[in-house]
Structure 1
Amino acid sequence: MWIEACKTGDIEPDDVIGIRHDGVDYAIFRSPEDRFYATAGHCTHERELLCDGLVMDGEIECPRHMGRFNYATGEAQGAPVLVDLRTFPVKVTDGAVYLEVSG
């Protein structure tokens, strides 16, 4: 099922916002090249919200222990994070960012 996550203008390039849908948190990213990505909203290390983290060079850094993930692939970039983030399909239509969620 596709849900509208936000408008394209809600996220600055090289940034992240968090959304919640049906009690599940997601992180929505906008790359410097204006591509949009979505991952699970919590760090796999200690479940900290990633929307409070730092986005830089294609990675999100968790605000709690500075673990980093590639936001396009979800790949954990090293300790303390060892488990990859789940990623979700994203599409942009008429200025809105849509996220494909289970359900």
Structure 2
Amino acid sequence: MFPVCHIEDLPVGASVRIRIDDTTPAIAVFHTEDGLYAVDDTCSHQDASLSEGWVEGCFVECPLHAALFDLRTGAPTCLPARRPVRTHEVGVLDGTVHVRPAVREGAVA
């Protein structure tokens, strides 16, 4: 798992965009009232950063065309997005938020 930030630096309603390395797509980490969630940062409809979107409950709205994604599953809930975004494991260890990136399809583990 990769460290993201201290939990107190990511208040409820906030998000942060992280880059782990040049081969891993950027990840958006969200702190909602229901907990922490991490998804690929790029909207599956068009090249927009979901970490810059609007969070309500367990959903994030893309800032470009208002596609809505369920942060729990990555599934789009309305058009124009049709494909889900990948979700990632996220947790807190010793007060630090950590993310374990999901393995990309076709990647060698």
The answer for the alignment partner of 1:59 in structure 2 is 59
Q: Deviations for 1:48-88, whole angstroms, at most 9, x for unmatched residues?
A: 01111100121100000010101121111110011011001
CA RMSD of aligned residues (A): 1.3
Work out the CA distance in 1 between the residues paired with 2:86 and 2:21: 17
SS at match of 2:19: strand
Work out the CA distance in 2 between the residues paired with 1:41 and 1:15: 14
Q: TM-score, normalised by structure 1?
A: 0.90
Q: TM-score, normalised by structure 2?
A: 0.85
Which residues of 2 match residues 8-87 of structure 1 at below 5 A? 8-23=7-22, 24-33=25-34, 35-87=35-87
Counting aligned pairs with the same residue, the percent is: 29
How far the C-alpha of 1:15 sits from its partner, in A, is: 2.6
Q: Structure 2: 5+ residue runs without aligned partners?
A: 104-108
Moved over 3 A (4+): none
Work out the CA distance in 1 between the residues paired with 2:72 and 2:12: 14
Higher strand share: 1
Q: Structure 1: 5+ residue runs without aligned partners?
A: none
Whichever of the two has the greater Rg, that structure is: 2
Q: Which has the higher contact order (CA 8 A, sep 6+)?
A: 1
Partner AA of 1:19 in structure 2: I
Count of equivalent residues: 101
